[in-house]
Structure 1
Amino acid sequence: MYDIAVIGAGIAGLACAQQLHQAGYNVLILEKSRGLGGRIATRRLHDTLADHGTCYLKPKGELMQQFVQLLCDRHILQVWTENSEFRKGAQLCAPTNSEFRYVAPAGMNAIAKFLGQGLAVWRSQRVEAIAFHNSYWQLSLESASSEATANQPSEVIAKAVVLAIPAPQALAILEPLTELSTVCQQLRSVEFHPCLSVMAGYSSQLEPQPDWQAVSFVDNPVLAWVGWDSSKRVEKTGNFEVFVVQSSADFARRYLETSDLQAAGYELLAKASECLLPWLAKPEWLQVHRWRYAFPSRPLGQSCLSTETNLPLVCCGDWCGGNFVEGAMHSGIAAATEINRQMEGRSLPGSNFLQAIALE
Structure 2
Amino acid sequence: MAHIGIVGAGLAGAGAAYALRDTDHDVTLVEKSRGVGGRAATRRKHGCRYDHGANYVKDGDDRTVELIRELGADGLVDVEEPVWTFGRDGEIEPSDRQESHKFTWEAGITQFAKRLLAATDAEVRTTVRAASVARDADTGTWTVTDTDGDDHGPFDRLLLTPPAPQTAALLAATAWDGDGGTLGALREAVEAVEFRTIRTLVLHYDFAVDVPWYAVVDVDKEHDVGWLAREECKDGHVPDGESLLVVQMGPEWSLAHYDDPLDEAAATVAGKAADLVGDDRLADPDWADDQGWRYALPDTGLDPSAGAVEAAREAGLHLAGDWVAGEGRAHRALWSGVEAGERIDGSL
Using the size of structure 2 for normalisation, the TM-score is 0.86
Whole-Å Cα distance in 2 between the matches of residues 209 and 10 of structure 1?
34
Whole-Å Cα distance in 1 between the matches of residues 305 and 127 of structure 2?
28
Whole-Å Cα distance in 2 between the matches of residues 303 and 29 of structure 1?
28
Matched residue, 1:19? 19
- Which amino acid counterpart does residue 137 of structure 1 have in structure 2? W
Displacement of 1:245 in angstroms is 0.5
Displacement of 1:233 in angstroms is 2.4
2:333 corresponds to which of 328, 331, 341: 328
Matched residue, 2:44? 44
1:148-201, CA deviations, whole angstroms, 9 ceiling, x for partnerless residues?
A: xxxxx9221122211011111111112133641121111111111111111122
2:176 equivalent to 1:168: no
Displacement of 1:35 in angstroms is 1.5
Whole-Å Cα distance in 2 between the matches of residues 27 and 228 of structure 1?
38
Q: Is the 8 A contact 1:42 1:52 kept in 2?
A: yes
**5+ residue gaps in structure 1?**
144-152, 345-360
Distance 1:168 1:58, change over 3 A: same
Match of 1:185, SS state, is helix
Match of 2:312, SS state, is coil
1:183-232, CA deviations, whole angstroms, 9 ceiling, x for partnerless residues?
A: 1111111111111111122223x6x6444332223324201111111221
Match of 2:195, SS state, is strand
Whole-Å Cα distance in 2 between the matches of residues 122 and 90 of structure 1?
45
Matched residue, 1:155? 151
Matched residue, 1:284? 286
Whole-Å Cα distance in 2 between the matches of residues 299 and 39 of structure 1?
17
Using the size of structure 1 for normalisation, the TM-score is 0.83
Counterparts of 1:284-323 in structure 2 under 5 Å?
284-302=286-304, 305-308=309-312, 311-323=315-327
1:313-332, CA deviations, whole angstroms, 9 ceiling, x for partnerless residues?
A: 11111101232122212211
Q: Is the 8 A contact 2:48 2:237 kept in 1?
A: no
Matched residue, 2:190? 187
Counterparts of 1:1-360 in structure 2 under 5 Å?
3-70=3-70, 73-89=73-89, 91-100=91-100, 101-117=102-118, 118=120, 119-133=122-136, 134-135=138-139, 136-142=141-147, 154-157=150-153, 158-177=155-174, 179=179, 180-204=183-207, 209-219=210-220, 220-234=222-236, 236-237=238-239, 241-256=243-258, 258=259, 260-276=261-277, 277-302=279-304, 305-308=309-312, 311-323=315-327, 324-342=329-347, 344=348
Distance 1:58 1:310, change over 3 A: closer
Whole-Å Cα distance in 1 between the matches of residues 332 and 305 of structure 2?
8
1:47-74, CA deviations, whole angstroms, 9 ceiling, x for partnerless residues?
A: 3211101112221223223234445744
Q: Is the 8 A contact 1:261 1:288 kept in 2?
A: yes
- Which amino acid counterpart does residue 322 of structure 2 have in structure 1? D
Distance 1:159 1:275, change over 3 A: same
Q: Is the 8 A contact 1:43 1:51 kept in 2?
A: yes
Match of 2:133, SS state, is strand
Distance 1:240 1:128, change over 3 A: farther
RMSD over aligned Cα, in angstroms?
Answer: 2.7
Mean Cα deviation higher: 208-217 or 158-167: 208-217
**5+ residue gaps in structure 2?**
none
Match of 1:226, SS state, is strand
Q: Is the 8 A contact 1:13 1:164 kept in 2?
A: yes
- Which amino acid counterpart does residue 59 of structure 1 have in structure 2? D
